[in-house]
């Protein structure tokens, strides 16, 4: 099957349930957490943090690659998700939601509980994440084979898998062997800083589509200047994306740079999932053979709509507005 006749997008990443709370900047300072980014914690740490808030948390299915794949499915794309859940209610809920959206689940069951991400949302709509990987960390690299990516246009490999180098390498090698384009979102500046020793080699030899926001791009390239950062990001890949929040995005492809305006409207309520849903729109557009401008427009719309709600789930009315851009 040639690259051009494939449209399916497969995501591989952490099977997580998002717990979201609204809190003050002081709450984060008291926890000793730098705003933004992601910190790996134990389950007890999440329980402790939740005990310190008076606010009622919202609980929704999450995980970066899964958020992207859910977005692809809502856009009408063919989608598959590979992960590992716990044998518990959260794990069953997670799989049920994938089935409801007609996403093909390739989900194993580990002995740990299903993982959680606690997102603390500050008044500026920034989210700072505390992640307990749980059963996600039990996804066995030995079970990841090229068959899982055989009919795929694009494999979305979650940047957080860089914390599990064996699983990251098994995913990259299998997707490459199957002939899929490989998309890597750099996930968070903390991930980039922690995995610098392997990241450059991975990008050079495996990645086709590299996606970063300005903090991740700075951590990887050392450049705050947008043009220099984009230049460095695009060195070894077919598509390099630099996301600048309210200032839109840039895509570098075949020595040409496309500027993608952000969708304007209401101020963001919560940025949880903004990058994941941006990627859903962009990658769906690429797999569908759309122009760079159209890919970008769908991406910006997805990013905008998810910032209008708490959590990474765009409501039906938002998806209807986005789908109008497809015609």
Tens digits of pLDDT across the chain (327 residues): 445 579 999 999 999 998 999 999 999 999 998 898 889 999 999 999 999 999 999 888 789 999 999 999 999 999 999 999 999 998 998 999 899 999 999 999 999 999 999 999 999 999 899 999 999 999 999 999 999 999 999 999 999 999 999 999 999 999 999 999 999 999 999 999 999 999 999 999 999 999 999 999 999 999 999 999 999 999 999 999 999 999 999 999 999 999 999 999 999 998 889 999 999 999 999 999 999 999 999 999 999 999 999 889 999 999 999 999 998
- For the chain, helix, strand, coil in percent to 5 are 45, 25, 30
Residue 108 covered by a domain: yes
Residue 133 belongs to some domain of the structure: no
Q: 78 — alpha (psi -120 to 50), left (phi > 0) or beta?
A: beta
What pTM value is reported for the model?
A: 0.92
Q: Name the token pair of 108.
A: 């194993």
The Cα-based distances of 84 to 112, 224, 251, 273 in angstroms read: 10, 37, 32, 20
Domain membership flag for residue 39: no
**Nearest partner of 205 among 169, 162, 167, judged by Cα:** 169
CATH number at residue 68: 3.40.1190.20
**Three-class SS of residue 236?**
coil
Residue 243's contacts (CB-CB under 8 Å, 6 or more residues apart) are: 211, 212, 213, 214, 249, 275, 278, 303
Given this model, what pLDDT does residue 60 score? Answer: 80
Q: Is residue 129 part of a domain?
A: no
In a domain, 230, yes or no: yes
Residue 73 lies in a domain: yes
Q: Is residue 93 part of a domain?
A: yes
Residue 128 lies in a domain: no
Beta strands in the chain (DSSP E): 8-12, 16-22, 38-40, 58-62, 79-86, 104-110, 114-121, 127-134, 152-158, 181-185, 209-213, 239-243, 249-253, 256-260
Number of domains observed in the structure of the chain: 1
- CA dist., res. 278 & res. 56, Å (int): 28
**Helical pair 274-287 and 64-74, crossing angle rounded to 10 deg:** 50
How do strand 8-12 and strand 152-158 relate by DSSP bridges? parallel
pLDDT at residue 62, rounded to an integer: 87
138/86 Cα distance (integer angstroms)? 9
Q: Which domain range does residue 292 map to?
A: 3-15+62-112+141-322
pLDDT in the model for residue 4:
56
Please tell me the total number of residues recorded for the chain in this structure.
327
Looking at residue 5, its pLDDT comes to 79
């Amino acid at each position: 099957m040639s690259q051009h006749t494939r449209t399916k997008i497969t995501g591989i990443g952490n099977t997580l349930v998002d717990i979201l709370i609204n809190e003050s900047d002081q709450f984060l300072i008291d926890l000793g957490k730098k705003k933004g980014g992601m910190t790996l914690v134990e389950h007890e740490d999440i329980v402790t943090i939740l005990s310190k808030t008076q606010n009622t948390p919202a609980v929704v299915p999450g995980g970066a690659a899964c958020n992207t794949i859910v977005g692809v499915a809502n856009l009408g794309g063919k989608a598959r998700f590979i992960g590992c859940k716990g044998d518990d209610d959260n794990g069953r809920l997670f799989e049920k939601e994938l089935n409801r959206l007609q996403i093909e689940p390739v989900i194993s069951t580990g002995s740990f509980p299903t993982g959680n991400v606690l997102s603390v949302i500050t008044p500026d709509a920034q989210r700072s994440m505390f992640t307990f990987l749980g059963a996600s960390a039990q996804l066995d690299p030995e079970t990841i084979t090229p068959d899982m990516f055989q009919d795929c246009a694009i494999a979305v490999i979650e940047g957080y898998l860089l914390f599990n180098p064996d699983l990251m390498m098994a995913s990259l090698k299998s997707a490459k062997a199957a002939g899929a384009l490989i998309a890597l979102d750099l996930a968070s500046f903390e991930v980039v800083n922690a995995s610098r020793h392997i990241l450059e080699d991975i990008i050079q030899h495996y990645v086709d589509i590299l996606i970063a926001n300005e903090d991740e791009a700075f951590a990887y390239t050392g450049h705050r200047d947008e043009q220099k950062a984009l230049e460095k990001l695009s060195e070894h890949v077919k598509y390099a994306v630099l996301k600048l929040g309210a200032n839109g995005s840039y895509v570098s492809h075949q020595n040409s740079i496309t500027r993608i305006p952000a969708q304007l409207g209401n101020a963001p309520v919560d940025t949880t999932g903004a990058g994941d849903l941006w990627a859903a729109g962009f990658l769906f557009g690429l797999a569908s053979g759309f122009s760079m401008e159209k890919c970008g427009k769908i991406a910006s719309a997805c990013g905008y709509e998810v910032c209008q709600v708490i959590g990474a789930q765009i409501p039906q009315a938002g998806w209807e507005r986005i789908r109008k851009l497809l015609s």
